[in-house]
Amino acid sequence: MTDIATTTHRVSAGYDIVVAEAGDRSGPAVVFIHGSGPGASGASNFRQNIAAFVAAGYRVILPDMIGYGGSSKPEGIDYTLQLFTDTLYEALVAHGLTRASLVGNSLGGGVALQLALDHPDFVHNLVLMAPGCVAPREAYFVMPGITKMVSSFGGPEFDLAEQKRLVTNLVHPDFAPQIPDALVAERFAVARTQPKDVLMRMRTPDLSPRLADITQPVFVLWGLNDEFCPEAHARLFLDHCPDVRAITFGRTGHWVQVERAAEFNAYVTEFLDARR
């Protein structure tokens, strides 16, 4: 089992951001940025990937963004993309990072894009799995997966069974039986501490007009059966990013890094190895 150490960093406005870490501290840093949803955290989103990246010699960084995991979950605020990005960047700098490759899923992909735009010298490479924030917020909130996710979160009917239903919505039906009960329970424990504002007051811009400004190498991975972020958005990156490659997976939903873990680990470590 891979050893994981956890540190909490106090950032602006008094928020605490939890950063987990595994691997050789002298290796190239790879920051895994989780997506949104009830119970999301760095470890629960990327547990099937950590060991492979550590074995490949990388310093694996797993932050919990504000509102998620063990980090602060303030109420009565808008959860903007800039808030996610600024608090994450401040925590990563406090953690001693000066340059890193970013691996972002869903909302985490949007945060990775914003971080690359705001701090281009910090970001070495971008690996994006079904990234969000490349369409208006309203377009995402009519996607079937997000509609199901938002409808019950925080209500009296939100229980462990509902948590399991939401997690299985992230993956293709063929993969759903493989989701372990321990993962569902882990996310449910986090979800019970999250205010509804985390989802209901999320505010994300459409970054697609700025994709041409992303100069770092970009690797996009997408499931063809994604019900949260449409696979057609991969074309936005292919059309506008100056240095990009993309791969899609059949019979795969929103969690490429989970549903196709072995392939994901091989493809992404090869991509990063070539650009060390």
Residue corresponding to tokens 């199901």: 148
Question: What is the extent of the structural domain holding 201?
Answer: 5-273
Stretches where the chain sits below pLDDT 70 are 1, 152, 154-155
Nearest to 32 by CA among 57, 53, 11: 53
CA distance 239 to 140: 21
CA distance 217 to 214: 8
Which pLDDT score, from 0 to 100, does residue 152 have? Answer: 67
What H or E segment, with its residue span, contains residue 128? Answer: strand 123-129
Which pLDDT score, from 0 to 100, does residue 151 have? Answer: 74
Which pLDDT score, from 0 to 100, does residue 129 have? Answer: 98
**Domain count across the chain:** 1
Nearest to 26 by CA among 60, 52, 59, 63: 59
Sign of the CA dihedral with 43 first, then 46, 52, and 56 last? negative
> Whole-prediction pTM value?
0.97
**Which residues are the active-site residues?**
254
Which pLDDT score, from 0 to 100, does residue 96 have? Answer: 98
What does the pLDDT look like over 102-156, one tens digit per residue? Answer: 999 999 999 999 999 999 999 999 999 999 999 999 999 899 999 888 876 766 7
In three-state secondary structure terms, 81 is helix
Which pLDDT score, from 0 to 100, does residue 191 have? Answer: 95
Residues 111, 122: contact at Cβ < 8 Å? no
Query: What CATH number should be reported for the domain holding residue 196?
Result: 3.40.50.1820
